[in-house]
Amino acid sequence: MHPIATFFGILTPDYEDPPYDINTACLSSFCMAIGTVNLLALKAGDAEKPGARIAREDLNTVGFVASSLAYIMAMMNGMLTGTFGQFWTAFTVVQALAHYRIVSSGFGSTRKAMKDNLFKGATDNLDAINGVMFISYGVLFFLALGLNLEFLQGLTASAMTMFGMIGPEPPAFTYHMASIFGGGCALGMAALNVPAFSGAAEDSDYAAVRRTASIVFWVSGLIGMAALPDNGSFYTLWSGTSAILAVLLSTKNTTL
């Protein structure tokens, strides 16, 4: 990935590949989910449904805003340097501003309907469970890994192990390019799942994108964990959870 990230050596300095562990696997899954949503939008082209477009714009906007904050902090603390850091920081900031302008100027009535009904009506149990997991873990991963807030890393690790009920504990968090960008994607996925608590007011096409992104995340995470040599109740629980949620969400999502 580094030749692509540095535009085949045009940007410097080069950065080493991050270690592949459960933390990187989780962050990669967030990235895969966002990438899939955007690929499907490209495939749909002008036929992309309004609700799906809103979901994609919300996902991208929050993801780029979060990533720009993470890149700026990484530049300030010296983790990112040179033209590499300057380019990607500027890129995410420009993308965040551009997407915010799109979001703030379009489909206001649809977004308002979902916002006005948040936590006021009945929410599907499956969507509620899925949404709570993405919101809680997405925020934690962004703060602990994306922004490298060390005082929250212990809480994040505890949440991953259900506060010590399963083990082994995940390896210590490391601060690298994957954690910075992946943390931004994690917050984007958290934002995408908030409208799940709008109940019947949630746009059906928005819900389809939300579920599709969730399915891709769970499947990607399952594949990523299978590639790890580790074992234990931690991996058994999360592998089983990933498989179950992927199957259940697929049965509800008629667009797949």
- Give the model confidence (pLDDT) of 137-155 as tens digits: 999 999 999 999 999 999 9
The per-residue pLDDT of the chain, averaged, comes to 92
pLDDT band, residue 255 (cuts 50/70/90): low
Whether residue 28 has pLDDT greater than 90: yes
Please say whether the beta carbons of 65 and 103 come within 8 A: no
pLDDT band at 9 (very low <50, low <70, confident <90, very high): confident
Cα(160)–Cα(170) distance, integer angstroms? 8
Distance CA 88, CA 67 (A): 10
Q: Decide if pLDDT at 207 tops 80.
A: yes
The sign one gets for the Cα dihedral 121, 203, 37, 146 is negative
Measured CA to CA, the distance from residue 224 to residue 109 in angstroms comes to 39
Q: What is the mean pLDDT of residues 177-196?
A: 95
Domain ranges of the chain: 18-251
Strands (E), 176-240: none
Residue with tokens 């919300």: 58
Calpha distance 234→90 (Å, rounded): 38
Q: What is the pLDDT of residues 81-126, one digit of tens each?
A: 899 999 999 999 999 999 999 888 766 788 889 999 999 888 899 9
d(CA 5, CA 18): 13
pTM for the whole structure: 0.94
Q: Is the pLDDT of residue 254 over 70?
A: no
* pLDDT greater than 90 at residue 239: yes
Contact 61, 106 (CB under 8 A): no
Residues written for the chain? 256
Other Cβ atoms less than 10 A from the Cβ of 29: the count is 24
